[in-house]
């Protein structure tokens, strides 16, 4: 018989992170958010808890857990705040995971212990100003200088999370390292295909410039910046994996990351339920609590349905990942459904709160500002539909 309940270790982790979110994050995050400040104190505590090392082996300073454990933590954090949750998600699945999945033993030993402890944050430099959803349209270049044994990187990246904090240690950058020419099978014109590789660029490297923080609609307590590279030189040994494998690497990383974003989205959707239940039981109008009105009850029932279904979706995708089964379609379904659920639940929660839902001191106002990016980051909703259709065998 199938049992969807968490085992004791997962449940203990979930409960611990939930207590931390409610007792530590909730009382402080509003002030950080309002002032657009990065919550270093909260992030340090998360590091001491081992959250940044959840899915990594103990030999690299990790907690010996798995991706499912990470997603549980993300959901519980996002029930209270998404800025803190996305800092963890990006630091682990985009910052540290590429090194763990594709790095050499030397790279793992150099970077993972400090990334797992939260001493350093990692970032993933993929998106470019002219690229957007077309991640293969990379314009950033990396030329290997044979005389010095260094990669010379030039280009620009945008919307990069965790890239400019005081504890950012590295950015893994995708870049064109060469082009290859292929002849068509019919003997027609030859075509040139880009060869994309991934290269580790430590923070503070000369030629690597971090722009000021974006002025964002939401996620105001997280760090997001544009990066530029002007003859930025790093050792040849900073190549992540093999030359030309960068595209395949980031596709794998994004597939996994969509499960994490789905868990985060589920947390936001559930947080909207939590806040609406509390408010509806206290707010009185026309002589009774608004929760006594069937219209409000139906809204909250639908919100709970969306959050519950989203949770089942991301847990199914994560389970497939852990069992080594194909999970691309399920990750796309989870990301698509849960991000939509987050947006709808945030809208409904704001409506339930009325004018108070438009005030920043109420968490649902923060949820409303944070939810929309979930339909965009790590693959737009349109991209998820495209991936699902392809996995169903439909022609592209």
Among 48, 131, 126, 37, which residue's Cα sits nearest to residue 83?
37
Contact (Cβ atoms closer than 8 angstroms) between residue 153 and residue 142: yes
| pLDDT at residue 2 in the model | 58
**Domain boundary residue among 244, 259, 276?**
244
Residues with catalytic roles: 378
Q: Is residue 131 part of a domain?
A: yes
> Is the same domain home to 115 and 166?
no
> Is the same domain home to 54 and 127?
no
Provide the CATH number for the domain around residue 107: 1.10.540.10
> Is the same domain home to 260 and 286?
yes
Contact (Cβ atoms closer than 8 angstroms) between residue 128 and residue 138: yes
Confidence band, pLDDT 50/70/90 cuts, at residue 229: very high
| pLDDT at residue 184 in the model | 47
> Is the same domain home to 136 and 109?
no
Distances (CA, A) of 104 to 122, 205, 346, 353: 17, 21, 43, 52
- 36-61 pLDDT per residue, tens: 999 999 999 999 999 999 999 999 99
> Is the same domain home to 386 and 269?
yes
Q: Is residue 260 part of a domain?
A: yes
> Is the same domain home to 107 and 169?
no
Q: Is residue 385 part of a domain?
A: yes
**Mean of the per-residue pLDDT values of the chain:** 93
Segment 84-107 shows an average pLDDT of: 97
Segment 172-182 shows an average pLDDT of: 77
Q: Is residue 3 part of a domain?
A: no
Q: Is residue 62 part of a domain?
A: yes
| pLDDT at residue 187 in the model | 52
Other CB atoms within a 10 A radius of the CB of residue 390 amount to 14
Q: Which domain holds residue 160?
A: 123-244
> Is the same domain home to 259 and 364?
yes
> Is the same domain home to 174 and 230?
yes
**Domain boundary residue among 93, 120, 147?**
120
Q: Is residue 396 part of a domain?
A: no
Among 207, 208, 212, 205, which residue's Cα sits nearest to residue 226?
212
Confidence band, pLDDT 50/70/90 cuts, at residue 182: very low
With 80 as the cut, is the pLDDT of residue 225 above it?
yes
> Is the same domain home to 60 and 157?
no
Segment 179-189 shows an average pLDDT of: 49
> Is the same domain home to 274 and 364?
yes
> Is the same domain home to 240 and 301?
no
d(CA 250, CA 112): 18
Among 144, 142, 140, which residue's Cα sits nearest to residue 155?
140
Segment 349-363 shows an average pLDDT of: 94
- 374-396 pLDDT per residue, tens: 999 989 999 999 999 999 999 76
With 70 as the cut, is the pLDDT of residue 109 above it?
yes
Confidence band, pLDDT 50/70/90 cuts, at residue 189: low
For the chain, the domain total comes to 3
Residue matched to tokens 């998600």? 89
d(CA 236, CA 292): 66
Among 370, 338, 321, which residue's Cα sits nearest to residue 261?
338
Q: Is residue 254 part of a domain?
A: yes
Of the chain, the percentage scoring pLDDT greater than 90 comes to: 89
Provide the CATH number for the domain around residue 222: 2.40.110.10
> Is the same domain home to 201 and 115?
no
Instruction: Report the relative pairing of strands 121-125 and 168-182 from DSSP bridges.
Output: parallel
220: left (phi > 0), else alpha (psi -120 to 50), else beta?
Answer: alpha
d(CA 143, CA 154): 9
Confidence band, pLDDT 50/70/90 cuts, at residue 194: confident
Residue matched to tokens 């919307």? 159
d(CA 346, CA 366): 9
With 60 as the cut, is the pLDDT of residue 179 above it?
no
| pLDDT at residue 133 in the model | 66
**Domain boundary residue among 244, 279, 294?**
244
Cα-trace Rg, the chain? 22
Provide the CATH number for the domain around residue 255: 1.20.140.10
Q: Is residue 286 part of a domain?
A: yes
Segment 131-159 shows an average pLDDT of: 90
With 90 as the cut, is the pLDDT of residue 186 above it?
no
């Amino acid at each position: 018989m199938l049992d969807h309940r968490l085992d004791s270790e997962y449940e203990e982790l979930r409960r611990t992170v939930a207590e931390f979110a409610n007792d530590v994050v909730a009382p402080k995050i509003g002030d950080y958010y309002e002032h657009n400040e990065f919550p270093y104190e909260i992030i340090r505590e998360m590091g001491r808890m081992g959250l940044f090392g959840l899915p990594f082996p103990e030999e690299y300073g990790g907690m010996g857990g798995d991706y499912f454990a990470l997603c549980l933590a993300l959901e519980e954090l996002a029930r209270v705040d998404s800025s803190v949750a996305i800092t963890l998600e990006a630091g682990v699945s985009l910052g540290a995971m590429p090194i763990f999945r594709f790095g050499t033993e030397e790279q793992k030993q150099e970077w993972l212990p400090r990334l797992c402890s939260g001493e350093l944050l990692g970032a993933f430099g993929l998106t470019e100003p002219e690229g957007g959803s077309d991640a293969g349209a990379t314009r950033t270049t990396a030329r290997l200088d044979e005389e010095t044994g260094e990669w010379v990187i030039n280009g620009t990246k945008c919307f990069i999370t965790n890239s400019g904090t005081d504890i950012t240690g590295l950015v893994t950058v995708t870049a064109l390292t060469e082009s290859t020419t292929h002849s068509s099978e019919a003997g027609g014109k030859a075509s040139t295909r880009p060869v994309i590789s991934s290269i580790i660029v430590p923070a503070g490297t000369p030629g690597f410039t971090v722009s000021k923080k974006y002025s964002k609609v939401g996620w105001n307590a997280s760090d997001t910046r544009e990066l530029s590279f002007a003859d930025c030189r790093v050792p040849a040994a900073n190549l992540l994996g093999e030359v030309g494998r960068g595209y395949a690497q980031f596709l794998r990383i994004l597939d996994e990351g969509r499960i994490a974003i789905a868990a985060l989205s589920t947390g936001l959707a559930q947080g909207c339920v939590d806040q609406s239940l509390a408010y509806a039981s206290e707010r009185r109008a026309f002589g009774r609590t608004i929760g006594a009105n069937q219209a409000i009850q139906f809204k909250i029932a639908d919100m709970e349905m969306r959050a519950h279904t989203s949770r089942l979706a991301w847990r199914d995708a994560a389970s497939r990942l852990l069992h080594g089964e194909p999970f691309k379609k399920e990750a796309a379904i989870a990301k698509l459904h849960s991000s939509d659920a987050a947006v709808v639940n945030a809208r409904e929660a704001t409506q339930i709160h009325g004018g108070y839902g438009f005030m920043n001191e109420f968490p649902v106002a923060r949820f409303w500002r944070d939810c929309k990016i979930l339909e965009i980051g790590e693959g737009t909703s349109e991209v998820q539909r495209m991936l699902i259709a392809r996995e169903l065998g439909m022609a592209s």
